[in-house]
Amino acid sequence: MYPGHVQLDQPIPLHLTRDLFGTMLTYLEHDILPFPDIEGIDLGPAMKRKNFTEENVFQYADDFFVALNLTRAPNRFWNLSIFKKTPNRHMACHPAA
């Protein structure tokens, strides 16, 4: 995509992501998806059948990172995080908030 500007063993330079925070990368999907012609999987129905909560998603993610030999999220994260937007209250719910 950017020959000579991106090294395989280095982070992507932020200015190439077209996003100040490097969090909105959906425009790159057509270039980076391994099978772009295959429709994505909607996990929503399966998660509803298993009665997933918002917090369950983070617990599964935490378990995944621990399996990669990373540190488990600290108790402070679990105690101070808001996993679901509170009705009738303005909240900034995006990665850069």
Q: Given this model, what pLDDT does residue 72 score?
A: 96
Task: Examine residue 69 and state whether it is found in any structural domain, yes or no.
Answer: yes
Residues 2 and 30 reside in one and the same domain: yes
Q: What's the structural domain count of the chain?
A: 2
pLDDT at res. 18: 73
- Please give the pLDDT value at position 1: 60
C-alpha distance from residue 45 to each of 36, 48, 49 (Å): 23, 5, 6
Judge if 30 and 52 occupy the same domain.
no
pLDDT at 65: 95
What is the C-alpha radius of gyration for the chain, rounded to an integer number of angstroms? 18
66-76 pLDDT, tens per residue? 999 999 999 99
6 DSSP 8-state letter: -
Q: Is residue 48 part of a domain?
A: yes
Domain that holds residue 69: 42-76
pLDDT along the chain (97 residues), means of 10: 75 74 71 79 92 93 96 95 87 71
| Residue 61 belongs to some domain of the structure | yes
